[in-house]
Chains A and B, each alone.
Chain A
Amino acid sequence: MKITCPYCGERDHREFTYRGDATAIRPSIDNTSLDDHQAFVYDRKNTAGTHRELWNHTSGCRTHVVVVRDTVSHEIFSCEPVGPFAKQLARNVAKLKGAGA
């Protein structure tokens, strides 16, 4: 598989570390429901087909990305930046690309 990192371009997937299902969202700190926290830690949809998942570009820019991939065919549909600085980073990358860097 080859993953196109939004910052670094197309790279072999062995540069990335798999970080699991991106649809499992940590409940807020105010949420005291044991069931909600248990579901976040342990329960997975385990989708056959289109799967949103987190990868970290460990041997590259070391940022997390959200990859949308088919778990049956291994086809990759998209790879987007994620996290609090995602938008800023994406703007910087766009600027650099626009400057022909």
Chain B
Amino acid sequence: MSRYSAWEILKNAVKGNRDWTPAWRRAEPKSAYDVIIIGGGGHGLSTAYYLAKVHGITNVAVVEKGYLGSGNVGRNTTIVRSNYRLTPNSRFYEKSMELWRELSHDLNYNVMFSPRGVLNLALTPGQMDTYAERGNQMRLMGVRSELLDRDQVARLNPGLDVSGSARFPIEGGLLQPDAGNARHDAVAWGYARAADQLGVDIIENCEVNGFLKEGGRITGVETTRGTIRAAKTGVAVAGNTGKVMKLAGIDNLPIESTVLQAFVSESIKPIIKNVVTFGAGHLYVSQSDKGGLVFGGNIDYYNSYAQRGNLPVWEEVISELLAMFPAFARVKLLRSWGGVMDMSMDGSPIITTGPIDGMYLNAGWCYGGFKATPASGWCFAHTIANDKASEYNETFTLERFKNGQSIDELGAGPTPWYH
């Protein structure tokens, strides 16, 4: 399979674009692999890629119950950032940012990473103080941050209502200039193609419906396309963690699944420069390259495995968007959708060996999994290859809850629907 390049585009254009080949093979499942990754989403595919590239383990299968990218990797609002306060999170998400910056070159696939800046608006003087603290924490971890006053915020995003008569007058904001977004589908396809080229089998429409257990050890999976054996089985199924882990007899994880909705409007001319978030509720909005406003807010606050939510969230999210940008009142909503989120008890992820021998778990991404895609795969691959966590995920264990070492960025306690 050829490398993508300007020369390839030209060559194929001249030949009428008849010779492009599929980006990855339609692999048939073999009877055994060194490693099976359950879940062909962003995290599963990036894990397979780094297993092959960094650790030289190429006899790997990624099994996906639907088509590739049909889950949360194709359902998010594409935001990439690392503006965290707690050290384990800062370190992990900065590792992710490092990988994001080179990802298009690394994968030879344009993921359209666009570091346009993430701007958190502050609506009260108290919130400005909090952001000053967070900005300082970020700088201490080597993450660039800038505290902006109202005029600077207004210059960056001219559509914002910065008048004193706004329902929630804007004081200023905290900007992470190196954050931004990326094209989510391209991330899934890019990892799939790069992993495939290194020899990984990507097996779509292959649902796991049981685990093989021998002497208390997981030795493979039963799927709708037959039995597949492997010494090591990694689970990276996000919102379906509860369902899949139950097949292995585990039903006591510190995770609850909920639904998060996202929205996209019709295309309008460029007006929002950054990813902008609202300080008085929860809303994040950016403008896609096609011109649509892509936005979302809080999860629906109840357990759910439905990939659709309820209307009160629409009202909340849209009213917050209009409080910031009154000019959007006449913009039509194009689509909305829902994804199932694996909300952990402290809002931080789990990338660990176990909980059964031969099994590895990658879960608890709440609704921030997209930005973690490269680092999550990198760390999970390291954990699977070495049977030991890397320095970036050594605190993302299951035991941390029992040991009183939870990583609670928000300070919300064990109420997963508030993280």
Contacts and interface: CB of A to CB of B under 8 A. Distances in A.
Report whether chain A binds chain B. Answer: yes
B271 interface: no
Given A20-B415, A38-B401, A38-B402, A46 B253 contact: yes
B401 A42 contact: yes
Chain B contact residues: helix, strand, loop or mixed = mixed
A18 B417 contact: yes
A13 B254 CA distance: 25
A33 B136 CA distance: 41
A61 interface: no
Interface string A5-40: 000000011100110110000000000001100110
Contacts of B305: 48, 71-72
B307 to A, nearest CB: 10
A38 B254 CA distance: 10
A72 B415 CA distance: 21
Nearest to A12: B312
A97 interface: no
Interface residues of B, number: 25
Contact of B254 (A44, A51, A69, A72): A44
B152 interface: no
Interface string B251-271: 111111100000000000000
B397 to A, nearest CB: 13
B159 interface: no
A29 to B, nearest CB: 19
A96 interface: no
A51 B252 contact: no
Given A45-B251, A46-B253, A51 B303 contact: yes
Nearest to B417: A18
Contacts of B256: 20-21, 44, 46
Contact of A48 (B242, B255, B402): B242
A99 interface: no
Contacts of B310: 1, 13, 74
A42 B414 contact: yes
A47 B242 contact: yes
Given A38-B402, A71-B305, A72-B305, A43 B252 contact: yes
Contacts of A35: 402
Interface of A is mostly: mixed
Contacts of A1: 310
A46 B251 contact: yes
Contact of B312 (A14, A39, A44, A69): A14
Contacts of B124: none
Contacts of A43: 252-254
Interface string B381-409: 00000000000000000000110000000
Contact of A44 (B243, B255, B304, B402): B255
B301 A18 contact: yes
Nearest to B302: A18
Contacts of A18: 301-302, 417
Given A1-B310, A71-B257, A44 B302 contact: no
A39 B254 CA distance: 9
Interface string B231-264: 0000000000111000000011111110000000
User: Which residue among A35, A39, A42 has the maximum number of chain B CB atoms within 10 Å of its CB?
Assistant: A42
A41 B255 CA distance: 11
B336 to A, nearest CB: 16
A73 B253 CA distance: 23
B119 interface: no
B306 interface: yes
Interface in A45-78: 45-48, 51, 53, 69, 71-74
Contacts of B303: 21, 46-47, 51, 53, 71
Interface of A: 1, 12-14, 17-18, 20-21, 34-35, 38-39, 41-48, 51, 53, 69, 71-74
Given A42-B345, A53-B303, 16 more contacts: A13-B302, A13-B312, A18-B301, A21-B256, A35-B402, A43-B253, A44-B254, A44-B256, A45-B242, A46-B303, A47-B242, A47-B303, A48-B242, A69-B302, A72-B305, A72-B306
12 contacts: A13-B302, A18-B302, A34-B402, A41-B401, A42-B254, A43-B253, A44-B255, A44-B256, A46-B253, A46-B257, A47-B242, A48-B305
